Amino acid sequence: MDISRRSFLTKSGALTCGAVSCAVAAPAEATGLAPVRHGGDPSKRYAMAIDLRRCIGCQACTVACTMENQTPIGDFRTIVTQYDVVDVDDETQTVASFTLPRLCNHCDNPPCVPVCPVQATFQREDGIVVVDADQCVGCGYCVQACPYDARFINPKTNTADKCTFCVHRVEAGLLPACVETCTGGARIFGDVNDPDSEISKVLAEAGDAVKVLRPEMGTDPHVYYIGLETAFEGKVEGQGILKTLQDKFGTGNEEARS
Amino acid sequence: MSVPNIIETVNITHEISWLPWAVSYFFFVAIAVGAALTSLMWTVLRRPDWENAARIDILVMWSAAVVAPVALLADLHQPARFWHFYSSFTPWSWMSWGAYFLPAFAAVSIVYGWLVMRPVLPRWLRLGAGDYSGLIKPMALLTGLLALLVALYTGSEVMIVKSRPLWNSYTLIAFYFFSGISASAAMGLLVNAVLAENGADTRRATGAHLGRVMAVFSLLTLLTGAVWLMMGMGGGTNPEARALAVVSASPHWQLLGWELLAAFGISAIFGIYARNLWFGALLGLVTLGGAWLLRWAVFIDGQLIPKTGAGFYDYALPNGPDGLLGIVGVFGLWLVVIIVESVVMRWTPETAATPLSEIPAE
């Protein structure tokens, strides 16, 4: 009995050592207690400014992004959400429309990065948050952690997907596809570390009018909005379009959509 | 209905990324944890009145500990890459720790159960004639420790998600823990009702015992709900208040709330009558339904709350593996495991009536 117990303990000890050595063989960035930025130019900090006064809700950015990044049907890295706004106390007022382009905010404190259990999603030194699709296990934890619903699981690759500021274009000296195509010139992209860049000038000129989405989350987003109404900063307290259709047409969603 | 002053006219439905597989995982793993911990009352604390319930706890623990990791693996959209968890240990992510805690718990709990149940296992499964009964207590303590770590990580990995106020509450850890123990006793009641070899008296006594455990932990689940509600109704910007503000006006969420209250309320009030086997099994089903619904509400309905947009996202349960078929498959696997366990076990009226330590070898 003693021999078999000793043998059992020896074998379980060997198994434990094996597991530990697997853990030790983890990538270099795992040696700290927080994720480390890697890749990209550390002298730069890319960001986007969106001047909502110039956005006409044409969805050219949505289409350009879809064409550039080949996202599957129904999934979007950016979309322009739109709202009808009425003042219920003023019946004479006409309905106003509000357009709000949404995308990954490339936060300085991105909640999606530390939750990733395999370090597939990380932040580059230039601030761009990316996903290593070869490393991603598709657990969807980052999708949950993002406060902006900016991530999704791509059904073609079965990995996490999101806006990358078109990093492949930026590295080739081009602008992100959505910026390139923006009809009203509402989207301005550039390096906020460079005081002479267009984005730095636009942000400086706008001053206190510059706002971000969900500032209370403490994520320090790097997509800045000019002309953002307070009611749209966080979760919009209003009626969803689907609910409106259901109320109007009564029955199931499929019917309401058709 | 008052006319809203904002109507969202263009947005998309954000697909859920934690599928019903996640509900199955959190359901079964909480049951395995609950069964492992309650079995310690006999294997560690040696309370003789817990022995028969502990035998059933171990059957439940085994079955749930086998099913849970399968469901979790299926929730990965790239299940074949599970080894990335081990090649890239990430100490700042709860899920990364879970990748170690869960298999350790599943493996150790199976060994622990084997040590306890060895006297009623067939000869070929006893692996020799040696006396390993001295290992029961240390393995029981190790299983208990790992069970607590699994409970901690499963609760924490959801609780830390600040972007979802419904998840970002400390009460969530208590919800999962208490309802998991209650559900483990509930599953025990189902098993107890069909273990005919145990004899009517033993089964009634065991049923009464499991019923009490179920009632107490269903009550604790309800009390956790009351705490959550009070924190939510207190107003302010705490996650509970923000979550309640979103869900309280929704008829769907109101119904979910009443259903959970009914399930755990019935379980807490009538649990003491589980001496009647079939009534006990019925109560078990109601409680299991409550524990399932709690996780369904948190995960599936919770993911339908937009983080920025208006209203709620749309969801229809698919029929395939990521929906109904997956759920049926998981419960089918559980049924197979529990049947195999009961078939393999030398469960006779004699062995059922004799303390495990006094059962002679075949």
Interface of B with A in 36-75 (CB under 8 A): 75
Residue A248 has pLDDT above 70, yes or no: no
Identify the sign of the CA torsion B16, B63, B36, B98: negative
CB contact under 8 A, B11 and A137: no
CB contact under 8 A, B76 and A138: yes
Q: Say which residues have a Cβ less than 8 Å from residue A161's Cβ, sequence separation at least 6.
A: A71, A75, A77, A131, A151, A152, A153, A154
- Cα–Cα distance, B302 to B295 (Å, whole number): 9
Task: Give B90's contacts in chain A (Cβ within 8 Å).
Answer: 26, 30, 116-119
Domain spans of chain A, in order of start: 46-115+163-257
Q: Which domains does chain B have, with CATH numbers?
A: 20-358 (1.20.1630.10)
B335, B327 Cβ separation under 8 angstroms: no
Q: Say which residues have a Cβ less than 8 Å from residue B263's Cβ, sequence separation at least 6.
A: B286, B287, B289, B290, B293
- Cα–Cα distance, A75 to A70 (Å, whole number): 10
Region A198-207 average pLDDT: 97
Residue A20 in contact with partner chain B when CB distance is under 8 A: no
CB contact under 8 A, B95 and A144: no
CB contact under 8 A, B8 and A80: no
Mean pLDDT, all residues of chain A: 86
Q: What pLDDT does A86 receive?
A: 84
Task: Give A158's contacts in chain B (Cβ within 8 Å).
Answer: 77-78
Q: What pLDDT does B197 receive?
A: 76
Q: What is the pLDDT along chain B (362 residues), one digit of tens a residue?
A: 444 589 899 998 889 999 999 999 999 999 999 999 999 999 999 898 888 999 999 999 999 999 999 999 999 999 999 999 999 999 999 999 999 999 999 999 999 999 999 989 988 898 888 889 899 999 999 999 999 999 999 999 999 999 999 999 999 999 999 999 999 999 999 999 988 777 888 889 999 999 999 999 999 999 999 999 999 999 888 999 999 999 998 999 999 999 999 999 999 999 999 999 999 999 999 999 999 999 999 999 999 999 999 989 989 999 999 999 999 999 999 999 999 998 888 877 778 778 887 887 66
Smallest Cα distance from A249 to chain B, Å: 16
Smallest Cα distance from A240 to chain B, Å: 4
Could you tell me which chain A residue has the CA closest to the CA of B238? A216
Confidence of residue A144 (pLDDT cuts 50, 70, 90): very high
Q: What is the 3-state secondary structure (H, E, C) of B95-136?
A: HHHHHHHHHHHHHHHHHHHHHHHHHHCCHHHHCCCCCCHHHH
Could you tell me which chain B residue has the CA closest to the CA of A238? B6
Interface of A with B in 47-86 (CB under 8 A): 57, 74-76, 79-86
Reported ipTM: 0.93
CB contact under 8 A, B5 and A146: no
Residue A120 has pLDDT above 50, yes or no: yes
How many angstroms separate the first and last alpha carbons of chain A?
Answer: 73
Paired tokens of B181: 């123990």
CATH architecture, domain A46-115+163-257:
2-Layer Sandwich (3.30)
Question: What's the pTM value of the predicted model, to 2 decimals?
Answer: 0.90
CB contact under 8 A, A141 and B316: no
- Cα–Cα distance, A46 to A127 (Å, whole number): 6
Q: What pLDDT does A1 receive?
A: 38
CB contact under 8 A, B164 and A19: no
